[in-house]
């Protein structure tokens, strides 16, 4: 190494444009290597063990992250945060676009099913956190708000990865979009409860939920209107419409970041707004480019690196497992018993299984709160983060199993990998 | 010599009608074909009074069959009942449904074969052709009183195949491209080894039994279902089945085509004109190509008059000839409507016109789903007016 340094410095004497020999690898290089590693591990697990690729991406991030080998430190993760925000934002935009109100109107059993499974999940997790874990009411509510929703990124990508089509796939996607919507509203309200509990600052406790929710709605609506406005004058080119969609999504992501409004919530709102406002179907048939898979890999690698695996102990692990069991049972029961009488019981069970994933959205929601209360938040929200960590590895498998069991995926030999 | 192989023909009342429609199941999100048939069928609850709903070869297709009926009004009621049932259940399952002979932009390798012994056999035997067979047709059954009549009518109707193709053509787009055909569907059918027309040498039901026996002995066909003829007898129903029509965009057109078939059969069975199956056979493929390619603007070869004739002109003459039969059968309005189609264009024309004004294939398919969702004008209002490019 010393020889290299000497040689470099000798060259610097002759070549004035040379920078000093870098002391460490640029984080972008490290990150690029990690994305490739994630891709390779994902492919390996997929080909040889039949596991979802998502598990491989998360595993690569977790191994390289601060909790294990430490190749990715906090600074590197901070550098990747805008990319991960963009990835999650785009996936939530898609989730929002899946919220089809016409379907809800045509099939009156769907909304009761979503309401029941979300409410049962919130109530179950709140009671578990309050009575068994011993968290305060505010932190219990935060834990419940964060973990009551399914993982839209996992469900969406698992459906795409397996080319799944059918009632189980469609209803899993719809219930995920609905429980995300409920979870985001509850999350906004819980922010106020936490402020009241932590600071007794009633003014902020009242205003912050409105800032978060109202801000997301306005950014989402604004993004959708701008996208539709540009698409209206660019109707003839499908490629340009993809650019319009991506560019306005980036605009919304940037605005949300600037105004401290959650990116995932703003982009979800933009997706819902696009679904509702696009009466002339200007962007209805425009899909994200296939490149969003690369962003998804970044998202899951970052998510893996953000998992607090260093804090995992027998006791905390058991509590996280307990939370997942309560949550899983509540969601399963809600889907089985409420609404959807038109779907055979066997398929309802599979939908109950398909909506189990818990992932990036929960981790990013927790990060929002930890950002406000760094001293107490990271410890108080350890439980949902550990639950998300465990579910990162189980969730994609459960979702894939449900879709496969329903016979809605395409057998491997007849499809190409995305 | 009497054949050793016996295929009983179940006689039915002359000129009874039955209609089968193969329909497209599409996703309301992107209007591409979607795999939904098994789920849809499992969720359907109906008493069968209007007929049956069945799986077809791939998961993106569903077939409706009316009950056998004596008149076109009853057929229209059945089609309307089945249409309403399917549209309602599809909405509950977040599926859209439409007519049309081909889906304009689906990718055939993505299709999945439906569960069932017959479908597995077809997939095994025909390989990729079975998935490419995700095309959508209308079959019309006409009752006859004997097997011999069935064979005669099969030959007689063969000469009119181009008219059925031109009137029903609704598949100008395939693989995301304008094929420049009005009916691109039939090329998918032509790939099957036993497609085409009944051999002109068959003069009676006994001849047909001998023919089928030969095919079975040689291992060419297992049964009558393997004969993908344009017109073929259906002994278990006691009918002759016309199989060349594209599924129209709306059930009223399907009813009009059935009315045309019934009136034509009535005329043929009553008049018993001299037919020349072998002579017609010489130009059958050419005339079929003309009708598929040019639709109502086709020029048909006439092997008897040794000349070509414009299809639209001879069709109008034929429809005028069939007026008394249509009047007697109670389907004059349907034939009058087809007469107007001859001059103003049919579904293929409508599809091209719509795409010209709304240049998006998903949007075109969405418009087709809206069109299929409309109630029958024959049952709910006065008889329909001339179709325009934007209505019905």
pLDDT digit string (tens) for A336-374? Answer: 987 767 889 999 999 999 999 997 788 888 888 888 888
Q: What is the arithmetic mean of pLDDT over B272-284?
A: 92
Side-chain half-sphere exposure of A183, counting CA atoms within 13 A:
33
pLDDT score at B159: 95
A281-285, A315-319, B23-27, B110-114, range with greatest mean pLDDT:
B23-27
* Whether pLDDT at B389 is above 50: no
**Dihedral over Cα of B199, B201, B207, B213: its sign:** negative
Contact between A153 and A299 under an 8 Å Cβ cutoff? The reply is yes
User: What confidence tens digit (pLDDT) does each residue in B196-213 have?
Assistant: 999 989 999 999 999 999
Q: Which of A22-31, A262-271, B121-130, B327-336 has the lowest mean pLDDT?
A: A22-31
User: What confidence tens digit (pLDDT) does each residue in B142-171 have?
Assistant: 999 999 999 999 999 999 999 999 999 999
* Predicted-complex ipTM score: 0.83
* Chain A nearest CA to B43, separation (Å): 6
pLDDT score at B382: 52
User: What confidence tens digit (pLDDT) does each residue in B336-382 have?
Assistant: 999 999 999 999 999 999 999 988 999 999 999 999 999 999 987 65
**Portion of chain B with pLDDT greater than 90, in percent:** 80
* Whether pLDDT at A296 is above 90: no
Q: What is the arithmetic mean of pLDDT over A115-135?
A: 95
User: What confidence tens digit (pLDDT) does each residue in A91-113 have?
Assistant: 899 889 988 888 999 999 999 99
- B87 secondary structure, DSSP code: H
Question: Residue A293's CB: how many other CB atoms inside 10 A?
Answer: 18
CATH code matching the domain that covers B17-380, chosen among 3.40.50.2300, 1.20.1090.10, 3.40.50.720, 3.30.590.20: 3.30.590.20
* Chain B nearest CA to A97, separation (Å): 9
Q: What is the arithmetic mean of pLDDT over A212-235?
A: 92
To probe the interface with A, which of B25, B29, B123 has the most A CB atoms within 10 Å? B29
Q: Chain A residues with CB-CB distance to B under 8 A?
A: 98, 100, 102-103, 106-107, 163, 165-167, 170, 174, 236, 281, 284-285, 287, 342-344, 347, 407-408, 410, 414
Of the pLDDT bands very low, low, confident and very high (cuts 50, 70, 90), residue A416 is very low
* Whether pLDDT at B250 is above 60: yes
pLDDT score at A389: 84
Contact between A96 and A174 under an 8 Å Cβ cutoff? The reply is no
pLDDT score at B391: 35
- The angle subtended at Cα B341 by Cα B337 and Cα B347, nearest 5°, is 115
Of the pLDDT bands very low, low, confident and very high (cuts 50, 70, 90), residue A399 is very high
The chain-wide mean pLDDT, for chain A, equals: 87
Tell me whether B110 touches chain A (CB under 8 Å). yes
Nearest CA in chain B to A236: B359
On whether the A84-410 domain is CATH 1.20.1530.20, my answer is yes
* Chain B nearest CA to A161, separation (Å): 14
* Whether pLDDT at A78 is above 80: no
Q: Which of A74-83, A183-192, A210-219 has the lowest mean pLDDT?
A: A74-83
* Interface contact A100-B94, CB threshold 8 A: yes
The residue extents of the domains of chain A are 84-410
pTM exceeding the 0.95 threshold for the entire prediction: no
The residue extents of the domains of chain B are 17-380
User: What confidence tens digit (pLDDT) does each residue in A126-169 have?
Assistant: 999 999 999 999 999 999 999 999 999 899 989 988 889 999 99
Q: Which residue has the higher pLDDT, A384 or B382?
A: A384
Q: What is the arithmetic mean of pLDDT over A167-183?
A: 93
pLDDT score at B381: 61
* Chain B nearest CA to A107, separation (Å): 5
**Taking CB atoms and an 8 Å cut-off, how many pairs form between chains A and B?**
54
pLDDT score at A284: 87
Q: What is the arithmetic mean of pLDDT over A219-238?
A: 88
């Amino acid at each position: 190494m010393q020889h290299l340094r000497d040689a470099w410095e000798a060259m610097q004497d002759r070549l004035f444009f040379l920078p000093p020999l870098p002391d460490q690898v640029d984080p972008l290089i490290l990150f690029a290597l990690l994305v490739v590693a994630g891709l390779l591990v994902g492919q390996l697990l997929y080909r040889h063990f039949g596991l979802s690729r998502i598990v491989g991406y998360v595993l690569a991030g977790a191994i390289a992250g601060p909790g294990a080998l430490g190749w990715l430190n906090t600074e590197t993760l901070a550098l990747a945060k805008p990319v991960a925000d963009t990835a999650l934002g785009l996936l939530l935009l898609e989730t929002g676009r899946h919220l089809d109100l016409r379907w809800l109107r045509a099939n009156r059993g769907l909304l009761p099913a979503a309401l029941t499974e979300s409410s049962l999940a919130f109530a179950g997790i709140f009671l578990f956190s309050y009575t068994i874990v011993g968290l305060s009411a505010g932190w219990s509510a935060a834990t419940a708000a964060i973990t009551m929703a399914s993982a839209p990124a996992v469900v969406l990508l698992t459906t795409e990865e397996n080319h799944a089509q059918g009632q189980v796939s469609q209803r899993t996607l719809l219930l995920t979009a609905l429980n995300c919507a409920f979870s985001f509203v509850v999350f906004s309200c819980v922010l106020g409860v936490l402020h009241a509990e932590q600071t007794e600052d009633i003014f902020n406790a009242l205003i912050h939920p409105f800032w978060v929710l109202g801000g997301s709605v306005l950014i989402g609506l604004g993004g959708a209107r701008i996208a539709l406005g540009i698409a209206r004058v660019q109707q003839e080119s499908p490629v340009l419409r993809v650019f319009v969609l991506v560019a306005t999504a980036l605009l919304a992501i940037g605005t949300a970041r600037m105004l401290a409004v959650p990116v995932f919530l703003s982009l979800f709102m933009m997706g819902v707004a696009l679904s509702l406002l696009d009466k002339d179907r200007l962007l209805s048939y425009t899909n994200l480019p296939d490149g969003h898979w690369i962003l998804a890999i970044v998202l899951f690698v970052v998510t893996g690196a953000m998992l607090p695996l260093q804090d995992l102990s027998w006791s905390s692990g058991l509590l996280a497992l307990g939370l997942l069991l309560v949550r899983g049972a509540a969601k399963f029961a809600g889907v089985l018993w409420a609404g959807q009488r038109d779907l055979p019981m066997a398929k309802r069970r599979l939908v109950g299984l398909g909506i189990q994933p818990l992932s990036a959205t929960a981790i990013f929601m927790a990060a929002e709160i930890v950002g406000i209360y760094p001293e107490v938040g990271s410890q108080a929200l350890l439980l949902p983060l550990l639950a998300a960590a465990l579910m990162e590895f189980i969730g994609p498998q459960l979702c894939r199993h449900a879709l496969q069991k329903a016979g809605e995926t395409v057998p491997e030999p007849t499809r190409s990998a995305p | 010599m009497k054949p050793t192989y016996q295929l009983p023909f179940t006689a039915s009342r002359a000129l009874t009608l039955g209609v089968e429609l193969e329909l497209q199941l599409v996703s309301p999100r992107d209007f591409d074909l979607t795999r939904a048939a098994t789920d849809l069928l499992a969720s359907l609850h109906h008493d069968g009074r209007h007929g049956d709903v069945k799986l077809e070869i791939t998961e993106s297709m569903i077939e409706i069959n009316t009950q056998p009926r004596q008149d076109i009004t009853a057929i229209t009621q059945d089609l309307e009942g089945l249409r309403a049932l399917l549209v309602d259940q599809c909405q509950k399952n977040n599926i859209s449904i439409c007519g049309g002979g081909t889906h304009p932009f689906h990718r055939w390798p993505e299709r999945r074969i439906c569960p069932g012994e017959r479908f597995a056999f077809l997939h095994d035997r025909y390989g990729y052709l079975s998935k490419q067979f995700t095309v959508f047709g209308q079959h019309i059954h006409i009752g006859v009183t004997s097997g011999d009549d069935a064979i005669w009518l099969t030959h007689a109707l063969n000469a009119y195949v181009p008219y059925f193709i031109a009137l029903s053509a609704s598949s100008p787009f395939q693989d995301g491209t304008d094929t420049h055909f009005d009916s691109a569907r039939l090329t998918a059918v032509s790939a099957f080894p036993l497609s085409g027309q009944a051999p002109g040498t068959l003069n009676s039901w006994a001849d047909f039994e001998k023919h089928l026996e030969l095919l079975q002995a040689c291992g060419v066909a297992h049964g009558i279902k393997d004969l993908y003829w344009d017109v073929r007898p259906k002994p278990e129903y006691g009918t002759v089945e016309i199989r060349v029509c594209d599924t129209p965009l709306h059930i009223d057109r399907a009813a009009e085509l059935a009315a045309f078939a019934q009136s034509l059969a009535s005329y043929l069975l009553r008049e018993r004109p001299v037919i020349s199956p072998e002579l017609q056979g010489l130009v059958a493929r050419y005339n079929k190509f003309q009708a598929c390619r040019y639709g109502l603007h086709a020029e048909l070869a006439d092997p008897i008059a040794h000349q070509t004739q414009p299809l639209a002109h001879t069709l109008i003459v034929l429809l005028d000839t069939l007026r008394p039969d249509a009047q007697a059968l109670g389907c004059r309005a349907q034939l009058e409507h087809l007469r107007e189609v001859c001059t103003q264009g049919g579904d293929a024309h409508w599809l091209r016109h719509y795409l010209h004004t709304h240049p998006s294939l998903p949007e075109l398919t969405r418009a087709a789903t809206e069109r299929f969702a409309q109630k029958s004008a024959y049952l709910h209002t006065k008889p329909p007016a001339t179709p325009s490019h934007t209505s019905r």
